[in-house]
């Protein structure tokens, strides 16, 4: 299945992206696709017609359409956990019924959404209050998918905030909760304990700490705690009354859950109407993914570009570079989405994967990254495919000149990566600066840029709730397509279990209640050091 692509990669090792533009005047449009408010440009890559045809052929060979339709239809495509995968139902605002085991899940989804809206409005309008008055602050306690999605989206949509301030505590490190709670009024804070399983040790430890903080400070945990979970028996046992428990089903994966009750902090911050627009952005991307031909299908093209770069060309990482300060948590969010979904070495049928699994995903917002790690991206020996994203305009009309500079920087980076600078150009630069002879030659070499480095760019008019919804759903479907082509289950995460089990067995040892006998020498010595050095 990969032979033709490997052959195309090896066929002409000297191909230049710039040459592809020279050969095809319509390349920019021919290798860009638009849907809703997004334009995705993958023309600054070495993908040409033959490569694209071979990539698209993969989709047909593995019946991508059939797998996609099975997901949307509620089939149990998460085979290792025997579950459907239906985060798309959470944004199916006016689509038809969605059946799981013959039962339409949409009435339940819409009922829960209505409950979230009612609660959010009550909190926002001060109808729901704490012991000391209207709620001023919301603290979401969760980790992984129960944190990254709402934390990322709340920050991304800051210009739409007109509700209480939202804070996020995820790390079991006491520093995190101490720093967040330190400045808050326990009598006017709402705590949301967000955990799909309601067993995650970090979240439950933080939840108990927050409960003690609230009662010690005169707040009322019986009133000021809410929960988001699939485990209603456990939320009940924790003491959160059913009217403030927002449940969801096991067919919503943690890292795909921001669209439902896990998104409650976002709704509290921006209001139900703006949250609806976010859902509609996701829904618009679903409709596009379900109906567009592969060659015009944005998530498919994004996925195929990633597969070309990682599985075929062998570039080990992928940088996500949003030129948007408010998307500063997006790289971390995509990191979980991609690496927890596709970081697997066993195929769905139990056999070992014969191609590399998903890449390392990392990134920072521009322009900050330019002054930190872009040096390696431009001149390092390895190639890092870059995924740039930028809005045509910002939310600060008085600072429009800032935004123009931001856009110019974003476009300059992808141009520089593609174009590079030849030795002759570098020599001319040095000569123009008055340098001559051996010194010119030596200095010029340091100023050469190989160029021909691939990047994609996603542009949109402005970072609105609708646009954010489109972007998140775009990347979700991209991860799905990659997983289908690799033949893996993108919806389980067994790889996190072993560490959790060992942490549980180490806790009493680190507490000093059990000996480290039986642990390896390194672990035992590290425990010994910790025990000796704490008061
Ligand atoms: O340990 C990984 C994980 O299960 C993630 O998949 C999940 O998002 C996170 O932990 C939090 O899980 P929960 O929502 O059940 O607390």
- Is the confidence at residue 371, as pLDDT, over 90? yes
Indicate whether residue 146 lines ligand 1 (CB < 6 A): yes
Site of tokens 């939320």? 235
Question: What does the mean pLDDT of the chain come to?
Answer: 97
Catalytic residue among 338, 340, 364, 387: 340
Q: Which residues pair with 390 in a beta bridge?
A: 323, 459
* pLDDT tens readout for residues 428-473: 999 999 999 999 999 999 999 999 999 999 999 999 999 999 999 9
Kindly give the distance from the C-alpha atom of residue 147 to the centroid of ligand 1, in angstroms, as a whole number: 9
Distance CA 40, CA 296 (A): 10
| Domains and their CATH numbers in the chain | 2-73+282-419+454-492 (3.40.50.10490), 102-270 (3.40.50.10490), 495-533 (1.10.1390)
Site of tokens 């970081």? 343
Contact yes or no for 269/163 (Cβ under 8 A): yes
DSSP string across 159-202: GG--S-EEEEE--SSHHHHHHHHTTS-TTSEEEEEE-SSS--HH
Site of tokens 């009598």? 187
Q: Which residues pair with 314 in a beta bridge?
A: none
Site of tokens 């230049």? 16
- Is the confidence at residue 1, as pLDDT, over 90? no
Mean pLDDT of 163-182: 98
The pLDDT confidence band at residue 535, using thresholds 50, 70 and 90, is: confident
For the chain, the distance separating the N- and C-terminal CA atoms, rounded to the nearest angstrom, is: 60
Ligand 1: which atom is nearest the Cα of residue 194? 14
Kindly give the distance from the C-alpha atom of residue 200 to the centroid of ligand 1, in angstroms, as a whole number: 7
* pLDDT tens readout for residues 97-129: 999 999 999 999 999 999 999 999 999 999 999
* pLDDT tens readout for residues 461-508: 999 999 999 999 999 999 999 999 999 999 999 999 999 999 999 999
Distance CA 388, CA 25 (A): 23
Indicate whether residue 211 lines ligand 1 (CB < 6 A): no
Ligand 1: which atom is nearest the Cα of residue 197? 15
Whole-prediction pTM: 0.97
Identify the helix (H) or strand (E) that includes residue 281.
Answer: helix 272-291
Could you tell me how many residues make up the chain? 535
Catalytic residue among 13, 22, 293, 371: 371
Indicate whether residue 203 lines ligand 1 (CB < 6 A): yes
- Is the confidence at residue 95, as pLDDT, over 90? no
Residue among 270, 280, 279, 278 at smallest CA distance from 120:
270
pLDDT of the residue at 329: 98
* pLDDT tens readout for residues 326-358: 999 999 999 999 999 999 999 999 999 999 999
CB 395: neighbour CB atoms within 10 A? 15
Contact yes or no for 264/246 (Cβ under 8 A): yes
DSSP tag of 351? P
pLDDT of the residue at 474: 98
pLDDT of the residue at 86: 97
Identify the helix (H) or strand (E) that includes residue 36.
Answer: none
Task: Based on the residue annotation, tell me whether 344 is a catalytic residue of this protein.
Answer: no
DSSP tag of 398? G
Distance CA 499, CA 516 (A): 17
Residues whose CB is less than 8 angstroms from the CB of residue 51 and which lie 6 or more positions away in sequence, other chains included? 5, 8, 308
pLDDT of the residue at 387: 98
The pLDDT confidence band at residue 12, using thresholds 50, 70 and 90, is: confident
Indicate whether residue 140 lines ligand 1 (CB < 6 A): no
- For ligand 1, pick from 81, 83, 143, 171 the residue to mutate: most ligand atoms within 8 Å of CB: 143
Mean pLDDT of 7-17: 93
Q: Is 135 helix (H, G, I), strand (E, B) or coil?
A: coil
Kindly give the distance from the C-alpha atom of residue 493 to the centroid of ligand 1, in angstroms, as a whole number: 9
DSSP string across 209-253: HHHHHHHHTT--HHHHEEEEES-HHHHHHHT--GGGEEE--TTS-
Q: Mind spelling out the 3-state secondary structure of 472-506?
A: HHHHHHHHHHHHHHHCCCCCCCHHHHHHHHHHHHH
Task: Based on the residue annotation, tell me whether 500 is a catalytic residue of this protein.
Answer: yes
The pLDDT confidence band at residue 312, using thresholds 50, 70 and 90, is: very high
- Tokens at residue 374, please? 């872009």
pLDDT of the residue at 33: 98
pLDDT of the residue at 94: 85
Indicate whether residue 150 lines ligand 1 (CB < 6 A): no
Contact yes or no for 180/191 (Cβ under 8 A): no
Question: What are the Cα distances from residue 322, in Å, to 183, 389, 457?
Answer: 31, 5, 9
Distance CA 131, CA 35 (A): 48
Task: Based on the residue annotation, tell me whether 533 is a catalytic residue of this protein.
Answer: no
For residue 206, report the phi and psi dihedrals to the nearest 5 degrees.
Answer: -65, -35
Distance CA 208, CA 212 (A): 6
Residue among 33, 87, 111, 93 at smallest CA distance from 277:
93
Contact yes or no for 369/384 (Cβ under 8 A): no
pLDDT of the residue at 200: 95
- Is the confidence at residue 13, as pLDDT, over 90? no
pLDDT of the residue at 124: 98
Indicate whether residue 149 lines ligand 1 (CB < 6 A): no
Distance CA 73, CA 260 (A): 19
């Amino acid at each position: 299945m990969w032979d033709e692509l490997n052959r195309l990669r090896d066929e002409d090792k000297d191909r230049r992206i710039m040459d592809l533009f020279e050969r095809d005047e319509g390349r920019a449009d021919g290798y860009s696709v638009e849907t809703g408010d997004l334009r995705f440009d993958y023309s600054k890559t070495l993908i040409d017609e033959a490569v694209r045809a071979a990539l698209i052929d993969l989709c047909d060979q593995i019946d991508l359409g059939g797998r996609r339709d099975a997901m949307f239809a509620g089939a149990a495509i998460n085979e290792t956990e025997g579950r459907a995968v239906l985060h798309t139902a959470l944004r199916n605002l006016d689509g038809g019924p969605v059946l799981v085991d013959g039962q339409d899940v949409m009435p339940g989804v819409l009922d829960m959404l209505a409950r979230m809206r009612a609660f959010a409005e009550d909190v926002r309008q001060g109808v729901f209050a704490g012991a000391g008055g209207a709620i001023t602050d919301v603290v979401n306690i969760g980790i992984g998918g129960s944190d990254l999605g709402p934390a990322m989206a709340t920050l991304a949509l800051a210009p739409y905030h007109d509700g209480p301030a939202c804070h996020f505590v995820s790390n079991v490190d006491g520093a995190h909760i101490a720093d967040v709670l330190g400045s808050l009024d326990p009598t006017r804070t709402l705590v949301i304990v967000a955990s799909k399983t309601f067993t995650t040790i970090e979240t439950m430890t933080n939840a108990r700490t927050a409960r003690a903080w609230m009662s010690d400070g005169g707040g009322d945990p019986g009133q000021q705690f809410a929960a988001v979970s699939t485990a209603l028996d456990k939320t009940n046992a924790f003491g959160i009354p059913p009217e403030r428990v927002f449940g969801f089903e096991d067919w919503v994966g943690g890292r795909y859950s921001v669209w439902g009750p896990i998104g409650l902090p976002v709704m509290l911050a921006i209001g139900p109407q703006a949250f609806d627009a976010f859902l509609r952005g996701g829904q618009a991307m679903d409709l596009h993914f379900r109906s567009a031909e592969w060659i015009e299908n944005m998530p498919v093209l994004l996925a195929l570009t990633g597969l070309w770069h990682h599985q075929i060309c062998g570039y080990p990482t992928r940088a996500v570079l949003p030129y948007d300060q408010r998307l500063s948590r997006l790289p971390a969010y995509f990191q979980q989405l991609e690496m927890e979904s596709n970081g697997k070495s066993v195929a769905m049928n139990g056999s070992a994967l014969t191609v590399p699994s998903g890449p390392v995903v990392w990134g920072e917002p521009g322009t900050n990254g330019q002054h930190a790690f872009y040096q390696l991206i431009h001149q390092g020996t390895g190639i890092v495919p870059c995924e740039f994203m930028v809005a045509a305009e910002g939310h600060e009309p008085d600072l429009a000149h800032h935004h123009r500079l931001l856009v110019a920087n974003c476009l300059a980076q992808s141009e520089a990566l593609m174009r590079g600078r030849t030795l002759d150009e570098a020599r001319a630069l040095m000569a123009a600066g008055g340098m001559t002879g051996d010194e010119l030659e030596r200095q010029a070499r340091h100023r050469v840029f190989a160029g021909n480095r691939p990047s994609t760019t996603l542009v949109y008019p402005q970072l609105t709730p609708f646009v954010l919804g489109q972007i998140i759903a775009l990347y979700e479907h991209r991860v799905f397509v990659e997983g289908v082509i690799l033949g893996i289950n993108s919806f389980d995460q067994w790889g996190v279990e072993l560490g959790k089990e060992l942490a549980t067995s180490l806790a009493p040892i680190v507490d000093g209640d059990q000996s480290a006998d039986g642990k390896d020498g390194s672990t035992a010595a590290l425990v010994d050091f910790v025990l000796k050095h704490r008061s």
